[in-house]
Structure 1
Amino acid sequence: MRHFSPAMVRFIGVALLACAGLSGCGGGSGGGNSSSNAAAPASASAASSASTPVATAPTQPVPPAAPVNTTVTQSTTANVQPITVANIATGTRNMLQTSVTICVPGTTTCQTIDNIQVDTGSQGLRILASVLSPALALPSVTSSAGSTVGECSVFGTGYTWGAVRSADIQLAGEEAPGTSIQVIADPALPTVPTDCANAGISMQTATALRSNGILGVGPFAVDCGAGCASTALSRWYYGCSGSTCTSSTLAVSQQVANPISRFAADNNGLVIELPAVAATGASAVTGTMTFGIGSQANNVLGSAQVLPSNTATGFVSTSFQGLTYGTSFIDSGSNGLFLTLTSLPKCGLWFCPTSPQSFAATVTGSDGSTANATFAIGNATTLFGSGNNAFSNLAGPSSNYFDWGLPFFFGRRIFTAIESRVTPAGNGPYYAF
């Protein structure tokens, strides 16, 4: 899930969500059948400016099913948020999820929402209006002209549209007070602007989104930045009056924000830790999302190699089989590894080698620092047929980019530092593992 800053072409994320079963699984992320080909990945995000190429994957229609409820038992450690990969009704594999509590600002009127995707490739909390209690009357964010603010989030295969509202966001023992979020398909703004609707398929339901919302905890503090504050840009923020919404500027302080950046402490980044899984996968895994870097004993960098990312785009680069991919990113919102590789057979839009294959690559930061990374690719048809939901070796082809998706997280501690925030290893943005 990545956004591009219109002014600086800021890359913030690409999430590629795959069909969990075999091809013919209802055309999307539903249960499998006996077809011989693994199903295609379906892009769930990649918000961008129109002028910036976006790494996307083919998509298929989504079957008429909603995700099951996955309630995440909360930790007693203030800066540790439990996360899980488990079965969901759409059948999508490698979906990293958590539960988020939101409150009417300054009150104890709160609601905990389950089935929220955790995405290190985007910024901000986006929640479907359909899962919010009528009692949770979140105030609208209004522009300097007094109009209600709406937002269009353009993803790799479609869009979400909704009102920008203010909420206190609670994660573990941390709180982001009065933070702007996007309420997807908010009935207060029922008319989708034409330019937004033309961005692809509508992702306005739990089935299409494959979750109840997205928690963007990537390397930037807000989803757009200075570009949207100075220029009214298409497919970003809108000022709405009645059914008429017009592209509008919005102050950075009012933009949809990475909640971690609004914490009083532990606000310079996060570390995601997931256990290793067998080559055949696992039915379910539970891990942790720990807030802060070097702020407490449980989030020290230790021996992790720090790889500064581009301050405008968030990219690092990856060298693989003699080629270097400058468009490279580490993204928990992508449910597979996506890379350019012509030597392996494909089944549908996944790789399906006759036996598991091992590979090595080198990730390089913007300062020239490097880290070696090994990974494996298994047969997607076999993996999907196992009935498991968490895979470290699920991969598919890309075109001229390298996406270190969720499989890369299993068995590692992966840090994401937020832009300009001070850490023991210098200011963000950077990745470390």
Structure 2
Amino acid sequence: MKTPFHLHPLLLICTSLAGCGGGGGSSPATPTQASPASAASAPADAAPASSPSGTSVAGTSTSVPQSTTPNVQPITVSTAPGLTRNMLTTSVTVCQPGTGHCATIDNIQVDTGSHGLRILASALPASLPLAAVATVATVASGSGIAGECAVFGGGYAWGSVRSADVRMAGQLAASLPIQLIADSALPNVPTDCAGSGPAMLTVNSLRANGILGVGLFAADCGSGCVNAALPRWYYSCDAGGACLASAQALAQQVTNPVSRFALDNNGVVIDLPAIADGGAASVSGSMIFGIGTQANNTLGSAAVIKANQQTGYVRTTSAGQTYSQSYVDSGSNGLFFASTQFPQCGYWYCPSSTQTASAAMMGIDGASSTVSVAVGNSRALFASSNNAFNNLAGIASNSFGWGLPFFFGRRVYTAIASRVTSAGPGPFYAF
């Protein structure tokens, strides 16, 4: 088994025609069941990231509990910090567990490439303190607080693990472990975490107020962190702020909120409208909770691409090359792949006019679906005043990232591992 590390969907920032730099949003991954994400300040290749749900569903049952609970969460792409393009966001309501004492936090990135809710401490009102979650070590000692290092391709997010009721679209994830990034209760970043890259501890560096990870797995680390104190994951921190790596029980790991809903808890559908090749100033759409649980989230004729149950990866073949590390990720602001067909401008492709390429996404069962990929002139796109693009593409060598441009004009399903759906248990993507 490789030493686990966290990933962060590729979110490159262009503030001028020529200048691109790193940073962006998403969340950690895991040792045993890594879910994908992408790379970073300069596009690095994707590597595994997330983890198992902890609740397994037997066999290939397709009997899905039906729900009449409201399940549609508004999502949008509009202006984001640092002139970040293709930043998909929503609002999340966070409450002290079991109370009506709540705050709604705007500009939370929606990320199908990660798992769990992470919010900047600066975005949470001081009048809404959240109880600390303990680690295995702090439970044994009777004091202390759990810290977590979320390492992304563009840097790291350090913070505490706190308990909150999370509410979206009439749904409740009660007493959910979340990460509070840059929590003043844990001012000292562990050396191995700080050595992971630039700090992503502010709105300007994170490019959002937080990250909502609604990917293929429920827990962000899984059994690997249950069984061992892994570096750059969970930490046991004492009252003085000193932190040591620690194991973390599954129930106390940062968790995909959707997996903790009473119903509509087997995945999400991202539904965004089609946009013109020149882009759009803003785009509004829906994140629909559940797959096959209500009339508005049925799979219909969607192609189902089953992901690896350990890594979350699918395969993509394009231009004669097969990428075994391929992922579908709303937290990546472009499509990322290797090509000699298109001229390059920095980290991005920039053909003189919009071009097309063909790519086939394939599941572990051999089922595949071929998609036509549009590639625009990145310089022209970044020079416009638009914020949403369906043809923004960048460079990666050993992975293929189906980032946010893939989501425009189609319904994209992300099914959580082991959860029952009408197409069998996750993990899978469908579109």
| Counterpart for residue 226 of structure 2 | 229
| Counterpart for residue 338 of structure 2 | 340
Q: Tell me which of the two structures has the higher relative contact order, counting C-alpha pairs closer than 8 angstroms and 6 or more residues apart.
A: 2
Correspondence for 1:58 among 22, 35, 41: 41
Displacement of 1:50 after TM fit? 9.5
Which amino acid is 1:230 matched to? N
Displacement of 1:11 after TM fit? 9.0
Displacement of 1:20 after TM fit? 3.6
Displaced runs of 4+ in structure 1, greater than 6 A?
Answer: 7-12, 49-54
Displacement of 1:157 after TM fit? 2.0
Q: Measured at CA, do residues 181 and 304 of structure 1 come closer, stay the same or move farther in structure 2, by a change above 3 Å?
A: same
| Counterpart for residue 99 of structure 2 | 107
Displacement of 1:233 after TM fit? 0.4
* 8 Å Cα contact 1:11-1:315 kept in structure 2: no
* 8 Å Cα contact 1:9-1:312 kept in structure 2: no
* 8 Å Cα contact 1:326-1:401 kept in structure 2: yes
SS at structure 2 position matched to 1:243: coil
Which amino acid is 2:384 matched to? S
Q: Measured at CA, do residues 40 and 186 of structure 1 come closer, stay the same or move farther in structure 2, by a change above 3 Å?
A: closer
| Counterpart for residue 391 of structure 1 | 389
Deviates more, 1:345-354 or 1:179-188: 345-354
Q: How does 1:140-159 map to 2 (within 5 A)?
A: 140-143=132-135, 144-145=139-140, 146=142, 147-159=144-156
Measure the CA separation in 2 of the matches of 1:402 and 1:11.
19
- Identical-pair percentage: 56
Which amino acid is 1:224 matched to? C
Q: Measured at CA, do residues 154 and 390 of structure 1 come closer, stay the same or move farther in structure 2, by a change above 3 Å?
A: same
* 8 Å Cα contact 1:12-1:121 kept in structure 2: no
Measure the CA separation in 2 of the matches of 1:357 and 1:393.
9
Measure the CA separation in 1 of the matches of 2:299 and 2:31.
37
| Counterpart for residue 376 of structure 2 | 378
Which amino acid is 1:39 matched to? C
* 8 Å Cα contact 2:7-2:37 kept in structure 1: no
Give the count of matched residue pairs: 399
Structure 1 alignment gaps of length 5 or more? 1-6, 23-34, 61-75
Query: Is 1:117 matched up with 2:137?
Result: no
Which amino acid is 2:371 matched to? A
Correspondence for 1:324 among 322, 328, 347: 322
Structure 2 alignment gaps of length 5 or more? 44-67
1:97-133: CA deviation from partner (whole Å, max 9, x where unpaired): 0000000000000000000000000000000001111
Q: How does 1:197-346 map to 2 (within 5 A)?
A: 197-241=194-238, 242-346=240-344
1:352-379: CA deviation from partner (whole Å, max 9, x where unpaired): 0011101111100011111111110000
* 8 Å Cα contact 1:82-1:98 kept in structure 2: yes
* 8 Å Cα contact 2:30-2:221 kept in structure 1: no
* 8 Å Cα contact 2:118-2:212 kept in structure 1: yes
SS at structure 1 position matched to 2:205: helix
Measure the CA separation in 1 of the matches of 2:69 and 2:249.
34
Q: Measured at CA, do residues 111 and 124 of structure 1 come closer, stay the same or move farther in structure 2, by a change above 3 Å?
A: same
SS at structure 2 position matched to 1:196: helix
Measure the CA separation in 2 of the matches of 1:287 and 1:49.
30
Which amino acid is 2:171 matched to? E
Which amino acid is 1:304 matched to? A
* 8 Å Cα contact 1:13-1:120 kept in structure 2: no
* 8 Å Cα contact 1:230-1:249 kept in structure 2: yes
Measure the CA separation in 2 of the matches of 1:267 and 1:176.
10
| Counterpart for residue 167 of structure 1 | 164
* 8 Å Cα contact 1:307-1:365 kept in structure 2: yes
1:267-291: CA deviation from partner (whole Å, max 9, x where unpaired): 0001000000001000000000000
| Counterpart for residue 90 of structure 1 | 82
1:172-192: CA deviation from partner (whole Å, max 9, x where unpaired): 110100000000000111110
TM-score by length of 1: 0.88
Root-mean-square deviation (Å): 2.2
Displacement of 1:244 after TM fit? 1.1
Correspondence for 1:131 among 114, 123, 126: 123
